[in-house]
A and B are shown apart, each in its own frame.
Chain A
Amino acid sequence: MPSFDAIIIGGGTNGLACAARLQKSGRKVLVLESGSAPGGGALGADFAPGYRAPGLAHLVHMLDARVETDMDLARHGLSWAATDLPSTALSATGDHLVMEGAAGERLTGSVSAEERRAWAALRTELMAFADVLAPFKELTPPRLAKGVGNDVWQLGKLGLKTRMMGKDRFREFLRMLLINVHDVLNDELTDPRLKGLLAHDAVLGTWLGPRSPNSLIHLLNRFAGQVAGKRASLAVPAGGMGAVAAAMAASATASGVTIRTGAAVAALIVEGDRTVGVTLASGEDLRAATIISAISPKTTFLKLLGPRHLDTGFVNRIRHMKSRGGAAKLNLALKGRPDFRGADLRSRLVIAPDEHAVELAFNAVKYGEAPDRPVMEILVPSAFEGGHAPDGHHVLSAIVQFAPCGQAVGTDAIRERYRNQTLAVLEQHAPGLADLIVGEELMLPADIEARHGMVGGNWHHGELSVEQMLFLRPVPGIAQYQGPIAGLWLAGAGCHPGGGISGAAGWNAAERIVREVRS
């Protein structure tokens, strides 16, 4: 039995990124993945014979640059079926609006010149704000205290950069940082399709409506992301979403990381008030000086470590950490090519007729109910390349918002209703789609929790809301990736800067571990 310096629990993108970075620092790293292959939520799966769904996510838009470059993912098999993917705001009448380039640099479709100007101005401003936020993603969140190891120089630089946006823009930044996206859209724009698309994107993966204060920052966070060297851009990996994780796993393995699949961790081993190892579900004990959890903080502390090794106040914070999933995943196996009234299938298709539709869809889930008309983001991976479905057939992957979360709402009646409402919206935008369906899979947040261990079905292992961001993420006191007990570290999406096929949290955590822990 070889010994390891570090054991990483969870072989998702963050676990793999963390492993690769640590291994490079000269440590011996073991990654434990409960599933049959590394990848977590990024992993694709066959959901009907011959049809492969892309997993939870179906697009990459914030792959951490350090991960992409330093892990040399291209060399380990990652290539892109499409980059700089346009987004189509679908219209029920076929009058689609398409956003192309970084953060919708160009608009095509019937859009007035005035609206184009308005959008260009707003986009410039939002991109400037996103520029300010972007570097924070690669930073260990600072602590609000003196002499506690903050990277003061780095923070000062970022602060100065923010101030140097210019007086007016800096003022606008401070005004808009916590504003709701609905107001911004209505202050600046008029086109319902554009407003619908942006409102949708702002609340994608959150538990907020466009009218909820603090919602604009999520749009900024999207625009602060990058993939394949391009800011605010979308990309489809060749070979399906699983390819990202596969490349990361290959890179990690190549650098010496050991990955064990089918290895679910049942508990952490604590000796002398430090974590010294893990006990697998099989009963096997594995030991290492550094234990890193890249899975949900709630699971890590409440199940694997257990409250008796923690303080009550801390346990309260973890218990009250919000982790409501608002998105469902629908995969459809289609025997023919879906037609969204002529929309380009080689784009991201969004059904969000206007910002009110997004708000209305959110209304219902506040009460654990299913909305009448959900909004959604659709990708047809089979339109980009073969291998997803039999020839001439297609796979449609949709992230449908909002979906009720919690055990009580996992009932068949709600599932059935949710399915029907979603298909009705789809049918309206792609007449005849229903007749093409030969297989389907619908995952409500409760199903996502069951399959991927994401508490509440939240993709970020905890809501990425302002009160759970940066030094407040996952909860105050452990935002710098260091757990409350010696030897334990966090590296998952539950930490800053959150999830989204990025690897940033894992990489940041590794950077800090390298700094703090002598190998």
Chain B
Amino acid sequence: MRAKTAMKPDPRLHFQAPLLETPFHPRTSAANRLNAWVPWGGYSTVLEFEDLAMEHSAIRNAATVYDLCPMVKYRVRGREAAAYLNRLTVRNVAKLQVGSVHYTIWCDDAGKIVDDGTLFRLADDDYRICCQERHLPWLLDSAHGFDVTIEEVTEEIAALSLQGPCSYAVLKAAGFDVETLKPFRIATFPVDGGELMISRTGFTGDLGYELWTSPDRALALWDRLFEAGALYGIRPIGSAALDMARTEAGFIITNLDFIPAHQAVREDRVRSPFDMSLDWMIDWEKGHFNGRRALLAEREKGSEWAFVGLDIEGNVSAEHAIIYHDKKHEVGQITAACWSPTVKRNIALAHVKRPYHAEKSGNLWVEIYAMRELQYVKLMLKARICERPFFKPARRTATPPGLF
């Protein structure tokens, strides 16, 4: 049933509840047995519903639902929307077809990353950016001289991520036929007098979809998915489980894996696309874009950092550990790490100073302080640079997807 559109509350009274509830809150709170909440982007969100291992396991085995509402959304419309986005971001927006999505980044003048996110092309002159941080001034300032309008639409959209090998089966059972939907494509379905948009995107590196609708249809969507998914072991997951999955998939998170250029207090903390090993995205031929000249110079001169995947010996997670060359010289830091239940390796994502990112001699070491019953166990473990993603199942991209 559709929730009634509530009277808009007095906007002055926000101080009564500094953290907002997402449109899915009635369901997530009911399911949140641990009552483990974390603030994210001004919302209360779930860290862990019941059991981290079960939640992670479901991502790789069944179907999981993750509440994406706090992601910041901007709508970009107008005659010059594509030209605007081409100037804003590093990828070529001209190559993005209507009904498609691509992952992209955008930089400041110095070629340092402002944020990453997904760009949806909803119609010819109608795009949506979905990202972690807030950028309205930068987006508006970038619009100077372009015939576009920019709106912040975060609260207008309720979003769920449905991920896992059974996610297609769940959608099918729920009556949404996405059999032909390829990765990074969008399909829309009429629901209850409105529309549900489904994109074949996700943050787990597995088969999965992201579902976008209006807040008043949020609960109905949730219920429909859980009804259809009951047979497939559908369950909600919190950020902790997702963080493991995304590490396995080698995905980065703003402010966890890099500090956005507009937020870094310390100047040396910012990172370029080369530093983050994301330079593959840059389209050098499309014309000017923010940071292009600085990045060209960096391409000539070389970069300081590289972003790599690490396989570390042993089984102790290396979160935030320092990386050494020859056990002596600091050459990097780990930003995300876990023991991967999926690939059975001790994995990590890390900033490594060049040229150590190409270290083949096996002389990289990670210093881990493992807290064991109030005492640190100090470990110096060998680390090997390896390809990302750590986990890349064929089912992720198979179309039509399998019914697992």
Q: Which residues of A are at the interface with B, using a C-beta cutoff of 8 A? A: 273, 302, 306-316, 319, 484-485
Contacts and interface: CB of A to CB of B under 8 A. Distances in A.
Given A273-B288, A311-B109, A316 B145 contact: no
B293 A315 contact: no
A519 B34 CA distance: 74
B108 interface: yes
B290 A308 contact: no
A313 B108 contact: yes
Contact of A307 (B109, B146, B293): B146
Interface stretch (B9-17, B136-144, B362-370): B136-144
Nearest to A311: B109
Contact of A312 (B287, B290, B293): B290
B293 A273 contact: yes
Contacts of B146: 307-308
Given A273-B288, A312-B109, A312-B138, A484 B145 contact: no
Max chain B CB contacts within 10 Å: which of A310, A484, A485?
Answer: A310
Given A315-B141, A315-B144, A315-B145, A309 B288 contact: yes
B145 A312 contact: no
Q: Is the interface of A mostly helix, strand, loop or mixed?
A: helix
Interface in B255-298: 287-288, 290-293
Nearest to B137: A316
Given A315-B141, A485-B293, 18 more contacts: A273-B288, A302-B144, A302-B145, A307-B144, A307-B145, A307-B146, A308-B87, A309-B288, A310-B288, A311-B108, A311-B291, A311-B292, A312-B88, A312-B144, A314-B109, A316-B141, A319-B144, A484-B293
Given A273-B293, A319-B144, A313 B109 contact: yes
B145 A308 contact: yes
Contacts of A484: 293
B87 to A, nearest CB: 5
B31 interface: no
B83 interface: yes
15 contacts: A273-B292, A273-B293, A302-B145, A307-B144, A307-B146, A309-B288, A310-B288, A311-B109, A312-B88, A315-B141, A315-B144, A315-B145, A316-B141, A319-B144, A485-B293
B145 A306 contact: yes
Interface string B114-148: 00000000000000000000000010011011100
A302 B144 CA distance: 9
Contacts of A311: 108-109, 290-293
Nearest to A477: B109
Contacts of B144: 302, 307, 312, 315, 319
Nearest to A303: B145
B109 A308 contact: no
A308 B287 CA distance: 9
6 interchain residue pairs of minimum CB distance: A307-B145, A311-B109, A313-B109, A312-B142, A311-B290, A309-B288
A371 B138 CA distance: 38
A311 B293 CA distance: 9
Contacts of A312: 88, 108-109, 138, 141-142, 144, 290
Max chain B CB contacts within 10 Å: which of A302, A306, A313?
Answer: A313
Contacts of B142: 312
A312 B144 CA distance: 8
A308 B288 contact: yes
A312 B88 CA distance: 8
Interface residues of B, number: 17
Contacts of A319: 144
Max chain B CB contacts within 10 Å: which of A306, A308, A312?
Answer: A312
Contacts of B290: 311-313
A313 to B, nearest CB: 4
A309 B286 CA distance: 12
A308 B138 contact: no
A115 to B, nearest CB: 52
A65 B40 CA distance: 63
Nearest to B292: A273
Nearest to A319: B144
Interface in B138-174: 138, 141-142, 144-146
Contacts of B108: 311-313
Nearest to A301: B145
A308 B83 contact: yes
Contacts of B293: 273, 311, 484-485
Contacts of A309: 288
B115 to A, nearest CB: 13
Contacts of B141: 312, 315-316
B84 to A, nearest CB: 8
Nearest to B106: A312
A273 B138 CA distance: 23
Nearest to A305: B145
A315 B137 CA distance: 13
A482 to B, nearest CB: 12
B311 to A, nearest CB: 38
A201 to B, nearest CB: 37
A315 B138 CA distance: 11
Interface string B7-29: 00000000000000000000000
Max chain B CB contacts within 10 Å: which of A307, A309, A311?
Answer: A311
Contacts of A314: 109
Contacts of A310: 288
Contacts of A316: 141
B290 to A, nearest CB: 5
Contacts of A273: 287-288, 292-293
Interface string B64-96: 000000000000000000010001100000000
Contacts of B288: 273, 308-310
Contacts of B292: 273, 311
Max chain A CB contacts within 10 Å: which of B109, B138, B141?
Answer: B109
A245 B142 CA distance: 39
A382 to B, nearest CB: 47
Contacts of A307: 87, 144-146
Contacts of A485: 293
Max chain A CB contacts within 10 Å: which of B83, B146, B288?
Answer: B288
A266 to B, nearest CB: 15
Max chain A CB contacts within 10 Å: which of B83, B144, B290?
Answer: B144
A93 to B, nearest CB: 54
Nearest to B114: A312
A306 B108 CA distance: 18
A315 B146 CA distance: 13
A232 to B, nearest CB: 40
Nearest to A302: B145
A421 to B, nearest CB: 37
A307 B291 CA distance: 13
